[in-house]
Amino acid sequence: MGRGRAKAKQTKVARELKYSSPTMDLDALQREIGSGTAAPRNGGGDEDDYADPYAPEADDEDEAPSRRYR
């Protein structure tokens, strides 16, 4: 018991978020994002973003046991 007031508050906030249309300052957003021509922070290596941290290194492959099924 005692959740009625909290639930009413959540419902009110959710309804305000759903139906309100806040003003958007697109110029400030563009300044925050930047012009888009700057170099990436990580040096441009997209491969590093998705690299598997648990994958064996190139040097470790000959040390790993081979799994060949015949």
Among 15-19, 52-56, 65-69, the least confident range: 65-69
Torsion, Cα of 20, 25, 28, 32 (10° steps): 40
pLDDT computed for residue 43 by the predictor: 57
Q: What is the DSSP string of 2-70?
A: --HHHHHHHHHHHHHHHH------HHHHHHHH--S-SPPTTTT-GGGGG--TTSPPTTTTTTSPP----
For residue 69, what are its two tokens? 């099924």
Decide if pLDDT at 52 tops 60. yes
Are 55 and 61 a contacting pair, CB within 8 Å?
A: no
- Global pTM reads 0.31
